[in-house]
Amino acid sequence: MIRPPRPKILSRRELRAALTPRRPGDHKGVFGHVLVVAGSRGMAGAAILSARAAARSGAGLVTSAVPRGLQDLVAGQVPEAMTLGLAQSPAGAFSPAAAGELARAAENKNFTAMAVGPGLSHRPEAAKFLLRLLAAVKTPAVLDADALNILSACERGEVRRLLARPGGCVVTPHPGEMARALRTTTARVEAARPAAALALSRRWGCAVLLKGRRTLVTDGWSLWMNATGGPALAKGGSGDVLTGLLAGLWAQRLASGRGPSDAAQSAALAAWLHGKAGEAAGRLATPWASTASLVVEKFPEAFKAL
């Protein structure tokens, strides 16, 4: 693996510089439109958590695209978000035809950034949907969960082509997903986390956020380490929350033009805020009783701390 530079812990001053400022005359259009592409039968919660996090990130608009059978459920759980119900397979996952439907919607909606992957499932039809979507819609993207596992089965050249987009791309693997992407073992990733993050960034041509204790973020050259977080985040759904938060923070920079729209910078800010909200959730509910939903509810405390 690549010999990495020493990871840098970002100061609060540097992190605040990545937060999109507010002005008295602002309206929702200033802060971007996030598209969350997530969910399948049995995993509606992933879509709900990601959309809730995007809505509480500061983004101006959020649309949740889900298999058609989940649309009413998700709409009822995230009233702040618009919903798109797309073609689904008999198993309740996105069907390949849904990619064309979403591409047509993207032409009309002008999405600023999209979060793709939570709860997609491992089904073959979901994999075909994802690959068609990434080929057809070149919106800046945050990719997580099942999207990463699907891409890990592809050849490097195909992945680079799919992830190449004018605004950039961020992937957010946990160590197991990182191991599949690099075709190595989780133990080797954990033994050399900085080198693994850099290697995937350069291999896939995108920014990388490697989750886990002391989350790492890299653009392929620089390397940042996050100092917030804790065991309250060791719960199902925490990654879905981070995905929606990151897409929302990044969309604000892309849409507003207030400062650099660097993907890695937004990823570092998202990791810090997510960790801080996790700390607050743990204090309130203990690490045992905390949930991903509570982490979203603690976003205001995290923003105030920054």
Question: Each residue of 224-270: pLDDT tens digit?
Answer: 999 999 999 999 999 999 999 999 999 999 999 998 888 999 999 99
pTM: 0.97
Give the residue among 260, 256, 270 at the shortest CA–CA distance from 303.
Answer: 270
- Residue 288: count other Cβ atoms within 10 Å of its Cβ: 9
169 to 43, 130, 142, 204, 267: CA distances (angstroms): 24, 15, 6, 10, 10
Tokens of 294: 């509570």
Give the residue among 49, 33, 78 at the shortest CA–CA distance from 240.
Answer: 49
Q: Which whole number is the average pLDDT over 136-154?
A: 97
Q: Which whole number is the average pLDDT over 187-196?
A: 96
Report pLDDT for 2: 67
DSSP state of 11: P
Query: Could you give the domains of the chain?
Result: 27-305 (3.40.1190.20)
Residue 185's region, left for phi above 0, alpha for psi from -120 to 50, else beta, is beta
Distance between CA atoms of residues 112 and 92, nearest Å: 27
248 near 34, Cβ under 8 Å? yes
Q: Is the pLDDT of residue 4 over 80?
A: no
